[in-house]
Amino acid sequence: MVSYNEGMKIAVIGAGAAGIMAALQAARGDGQVTLFEHNQTVGRKLLVTGSGRCNLSNDNLDPSLYYCADPEWIARFLDTFGVAELKEVFEKLGIPTIKTYDGWYYPLSQSAQAVVEILRERLLEAGVLLRVATEVEWFSWKEGQFELKVNWNERKTVEHFDKLVVAAGGKAYPELGSKGSLFPALAGLGHTVETISPALGPIFVDLGAFKALKGLRFDAVTSIYLDGERLGSTYGNLIVTEKGFNGPGVMNLSHFVGLHPDQNLELQVNFLAPFWEGMAEELADLEKARSSLRGLLLRALAPKAVDFFLSQAEIAPETQIKAVEGEQLLRLLRVATDNRFMVRGAGDFKISQVTVGGVPVSEVDPCSFESKLVRGLYLVGESNNLAGPCGGYNLHYAFGSGILAGKHLVSSKDNE
């Protein structure tokens, strides 16, 4: 590999997934890489990902699954950096990966802590200057260099760098470090900063009688509607809470709530979708049907849910499939599949996993992550206005964008 950065001073702000990778890759060249992190340690958010197991990628990466203003842009990124590329980098770092039957990738150790410890070791080996407990308060572009205002223990310094990687994250889970404090500095450099809102969080609705299902989990197809028009649909596990729904089955839709504040949003939860085909076959052949309707529903749903749906549909629990009337069946389907819940809000930044908003992707190159406005400035991870669903899509993007930026810093003419 040819390194074009001899003697170059490179600053990376933020030791999350994106910043750690950018620093590691950039340190393979001849420049001096400094990684600023205002937490006491690196990878604080990484530690809590995947419930402590770090779900780092997914076999089903697809541009259409990302919330992104430009599908072509995210497609170019995924073409350049897919699962194979991620696995290769992790393997080289000494972090072998495994995947679940449905294609979700984790470290072999199934431990986010192990991932963070290995990454920290690699940073030190690579000669990255790690400056933890150090806040970058501001940056600007002056006389051909990036000027950073740095605060370590109230000792404030002004430092200069040739290249700057902004990997300071979004605003989700602010107690883990990312508070969106550097978006104004990016705006100061001429970048657009689109409205920030939380994503991948619970959705609050008027549950009405469905409150009776509180605490129950379902695998369901959930859709969100704006003035009757469907904005999106997702399949996954959800839990009924006091205020609405939580879990991957709704989290993938929560960004729509932030994007359409105070508008007429409704949620529809199809509790039967994954099982309906099998049930419908049975219902179609009433003559052969042997069990009660309750018995049929119990194959897929908990008794509490079955009794709730039957009572809402005004069907006696002992009703045999053979005796079900068409009108009763329609009522059951309406309750269990075609319900509509008025949306009252979504989780705020404190309980939502990612951020939408930030710098539009149109201002960043999808293969090098260099700013199209300021040469030598790189924007990676959640700085960009983009979000994926649950399942490793966000870490894939954060790691991948950091890696591509770091590679470009070393070898802008010849990415290896």
Q: Of the two residues 32 and 353, which places its CB atom closer to ligand FAD in the complex?
A: 353
Q: Of the two residues 95 and 293, which places its CB atom closer to ligand FAD in the complex?
A: 95
Q: Least separation, in Å, of the C-beta of 388 and ligand FAD?
A: 7
What strands, in cross-sheet order, belong to the sheet with 155-161? 134-142, 145-152, 155-161
Q: Of the two residues 17 and 293, which places its CB atom closer to ligand FAD in the complex?
A: 17
DSSP code string of 81-98: S-HHHHHHHHHHHT--EE
- Letter string b/e over residues 137-168, b meaning 16 or more CB atoms within 10 A of that residue's CB: ebbebeeebbebebeeeeeeeebebbbbbbbb
**C-alpha distance from residue 162 to each of 205, 364, 410 (Å):** 50, 18, 13
Provide the sign of the torsion angle of the four alpha carbons 341, 347, 352, 357, taken in this order: positive
Bridge partners (DSSP) listed for residue 68: 386
Q: Of the two residues 18 and 83, which places its CB atom closer to ligand FAD in the complex?
A: 18
Q: Of the two residues 266 and 370, which places its CB atom closer to ligand FAD in the complex?
A: 370
Q: Least separation, in Å, of the C-beta of 361 and ligand FAD?
A: 14
| CA 155 centroid distance within chain | 35
Contact 53, 110 (CB under 8 A): yes
**Residue number closest to ligand FAD, CB atom:** 16
Q: Least separation, in Å, of the C-beta of 294 and ligand FAD?
A: 38
**DSSP code of 364?**
B
Q: Least separation, in Å, of the C-beta of 269 and ligand FAD?
A: 23
Q: Least separation, in Å, of the C-beta of 353 and ligand FAD?
A: 4
Using CB under 6 A, list all residues that contact ligand FAD: 13-19, 36-39, 44-45, 48-50, 55, 135-136, 167-169, 172-173, 177-178, 181-182, 353-354, 381-382, 392-395, 398
Q: Least separation, in Å, of the C-beta of 19 and ligand FAD?
A: 6
H or E element at residue 326: helix 326-337
Q: Of the two residues 292 and 353, which places its CB atom closer to ligand FAD in the complex?
A: 353
13 burial (CB, 10 Å; 0-12 / 13-18 / 19+) is buried
Q: Least separation, in Å, of the C-beta of 409 and ligand FAD?
A: 16
Q: Of the two residues 68 and 167, which places its CB atom closer to ligand FAD in the complex?
A: 167
DSSP code string of 163-180: EEEE----SSSGGGS---
